[in-house]
Amino acid sequence: MVDLTDWQIRQVRNALLHFYQRERDAEGRRYNWSTVWHEISDYVDSKNGTLDYTEKHGSERLRQFVMGVDDPASPAKKRYPTPKADLLEAIADFIVDENSDILCREELNQTMPSWHAMLKLLNYLQRKKSNITVENPRVLEGTYRTIHDDGDGLTTIRTLDFQSATRDGLIEVMEVEDVYPSGYISKINSMTRPELAEIRDIRYIYRGWAVLTPELNLSIYLKESKAEVNRHYFTVASDIALKLDRQAEIMILLDHDYPFEPEREEAEKIDLFYSRIMDQMKIKLLPFTRW
């Protein structure tokens, strides 16, 4: 797997970020970049390959690739150095072979989705000489998480990964939605990947784009990777306005996929229909916090 396109490199970076954010060791501690390096190095060894890097150098290259390095000319921006071909290939193979639930080979090799429509939307919504995500592309960079009890013995964990904005101001987003039996939720952060896979009821992966308007409204447009179901999020409340010089911490998002439909008895009684919808809206308002 060589000569990855810019789109594929972004996909690999996004997938490795998610791997780094989700993994825990046997004691429930988050992985650091040395641990991630050992995982990739062990994978390469198992394939009879070699990587000519020390642990210190290799782990730092991974960190810079995913987290970026500050741009001295513009502190609000970051550069994302691409690893040399051998390491980039090892990262990509490790992800699609060992962590295909995050990014499979078919997804990596598919044609880059067009972002022209999103770019037109972004340009339409912006005011003259005002584009927040161009001025501060890191305002949402990172991972946000929410946990929701479905009320039927299952609990859903949704994790949103935001990339640093492109030079045009678009933000690439990936969402992983995991559903677990509710009784395990208190143990999730201390369980290993195989243990989580064993108890997980189902997983959905969404990918797409986000737009931040001058009014600090965030609109997120996602598509599920298999059934291609569309999902939209819109901000109802956030601390973005307080965090323009750094990353936001909290967002309450309105989750929307399918519209509500009236019951038979509500078809001609808008007040009754409206009352029921207002009662159900609380399950559509999801509090995401930086994770």
Give the pLDDT confidence of 252-275 residue by residue, as tens digits. 999 988 888 888 888 778 888 899
Q: What's the structural domain count of the chain?
A: 2
- Given 112, 129, 157, which residue is the final one in a domain? 112
**Are residue 177 and residue 59 in the same domain, yes or no?**
no
Which residues, at least 6 apart from 79, have a Cβ–Cβ distance to it below 8 Å? 68, 69, 71
Report d(CA 69, CA 287) in Å as an integer: 30
For the ranges 3-7, 25-29, 125-129, the maximum mean pLDDT occurs at: 3-7
**Are residue 103 and residue 152 in the same domain, yes or no?**
no
**Are residue 89 and residue 31 in the same domain, yes or no?**
yes
Which residue in the block uniquely carries the two structure tokens 């952060």? 189
- Given 112, 128, 159, which residue is the final one in a domain? 112
**Are residue 6 and residue 129 in the same domain, yes or no?**
no
Indicate the residue type of 131: N
Which residues, at least 6 apart from 275, have a Cβ–Cβ distance to it below 8 Å? none
- Residue 133, pLDDT score: 67
Report d(CA 17, CA 13) in Å as an integer: 6
Handedness of CA 69, 72, 76, 78 (dihedral sign): negative
- Given 112, 134, 150, which residue is the final one in a domain? 112
Domain that holds residue 51: 1-112
Instruction: State pLDDT tens for residues 37-93.
Output: 999 999 999 999 989 899 999 999 999 999 888 777 665 567 888 999 999 999 999
| H or E element in which residue 89 lies | helix 85-98
**Are residue 146 and residue 220 in the same domain, yes or no?**
yes
Indicate the residue type of 71: D
Computed over every residue of the chain, the mean pLDDT equals 85
Residue 88 CA: distances (Å) to CA of 21, 50, 61: 19, 13, 10
Question: Cβ(170)–Cβ(119) under 8 Å?
Answer: yes
**Are residue 190 and residue 80 in the same domain, yes or no?**
no
Report d(CA 256, CA 235) in Å as an integer: 11
- The mean per-residue pLDDT over the stretch 243-254 comes to 83
Q: For residue 22, how many other CB atoms are within 10 A of its CB?
A: 22
